[in-house]
Amino acid sequence: MQNDGVFDWGDLRYFLAVAQTGSTLAAGRMLRVSQTTAARRVAALEADLGVTLFEKRPAGYRLTPIGEALVARARGVEAAAAAVTDAAAGAARDVSGTVRVTTSEIIAATILAPMLRELHDAYPAIRIELDTSAALRDLAGGAADVAVRSVGGLSGTGVVGRRVADDMWTVYCSRDYAAQYGLPTSVEDLRGHSLVGGGGEGVWFYYLAWLRQHGLEGAVATEYDSALGLLAAVRAGLGPAVLPSIVADADPSLVCCLPMVNKAGRGIWLLTHERVRHTPRVRVVIDFLAVRLTALARAKPVAPAAPRP
C-alpha cells in the first residue's frame, strides 16, 4: 500500500493504548472514548502508514512485527508531546509583569471581576492595574496597555483591536420589582412607574435622549451619577432603568423589559496599541479576555419574569 508519510499524530495515543491493553474496548475505557472510536483511530493510522500494526484475534489485538518495532518510537513521540505541553505550561506560568487595563466602572465591577480572577489563577505572575475612569485613555501615548470600552470603532494612530460584542442596551428592572409592581413591557407601561435615571458620562447622555424622545423624562424619580450606582438601584428594586445588556443579561436578579437597541452603532471593543500587542503579558491578557467576553456576549439572556397577574 502506498502512503505519503502523513498521519494524525493523535492516532498514536490509540495505537499505544491498544498495544498496552490488548483490545479496543479496554483502550477506549482508558482514553474515555467508545470502542468504535478506538478501533477507527487505529485503522486510520494503519491506512495512513500503509502497514498492519495489529493482528485481530478472538482474544484481542496482537502487535505485528512492524507494530512491535513502532511501539518504542511511538512512545518517544508521546514523551516528546508531553514535554512540549509541559514546556508550554511552564512558559505560560513564567509570563509576568504588569498590564494596565482601562474600562468603565460598571464593566470592571461586574463582568470583568470574575474574568480577572480566572486570569490570576492561570497566570499568577501577571499583575493587573485596573483603571475605571470614564475618560478614554490614550493607548498610543502609553496611558494603558489594554482597553475594554464602548466605542464606535478603532481610532488613534496604531490602535488595534477587535469588537467582542454589540453595545446593546434597554430597560431592566429587578425580579422582585416585577413581582411587586408588574413587569413593564412597553413604553406606555413605563409611564406608570417611577424610573431611575443617571448613569454618569457615557450612559446618561443616551439614556436622557431616549427618555425625552418618549416623553418619559418626568417619570425619573431618582438619579445616580454613576452607572454602577444605577445598577445598584435597579438591583435593589428602586425602579426600572436603562442598563447595558452585556452587564444586565448576566445578572440573574434582573429582567429585561423592552426589546434591546444599539447605542448609535457602538460596540464593546478590546483594544491595545501595535507597539505592545505582541508583548507576551499583554498578548495573554488580550487573548484571555477576548475568549470570555465573546462567549458572554453570545450567552442566552436571562429569561423574563412572568408578569404580575
- The amino acid present at 129, given as its one-letter code, is E
Flag the least confident range among 3-17, 125-139, 270-284: 3-17
Q: What percent of the chain has pLDDT over 70?
A: 91
For residues 272 and 131, what is the distance between their CA atoms, to the nearest angstrom? 14
How far CA 244 is from CA of 102, 161, 168, 193, 222, in Å, comes to 18, 21, 6, 20, 19
User: What is the Cα 169 distance to its own chain's centre?
Assistant: 19
Question: Is residue 276 within 8 Å of residue 160, measured between CB atoms?
Answer: no
- Sorted by sequence, the CB contacts under 8 Å of residue 125 that are 6+ apart come out as 93, 94, 95, 96, 97
Q: What DSSP character marks residue 10?
A: T
What are 102-153's pLDDT values in tens digits? 999 999 999 999 999 999 999 999 999 999 987 888 898 889 999 999 888 8
pLDDT above 50: residue 308: no
DSSP 109: I
Least confident of 121-130, 131-140, 256-265, 269-278: 256-265
Q: Looking at residue 217, what DSSP letter applies? A: G
Q: What is the mean pLDDT of the chain?
A: 88
Mean pLDDT of 278-300: 89
pLDDT in tens, 31-72: 988 999 999 999 999 998 999 999 998 888 999 999 999 998
Return the bridge partners of 143, or none.
none
Answer yes or no: is pLDDT of 303 > 60.
Answer: no
Q: How far is CA 110 from CA 46, 199, 209, 228, in A?
A: 52, 15, 25, 9
The residue that leads in pLDDT, 155 or 257, is 257
Distance of CA 269 to the CA centre of its chain: 13
Report pLDDT for 305: 40
Residue 95 has pLDDT above 90, yes or no: no
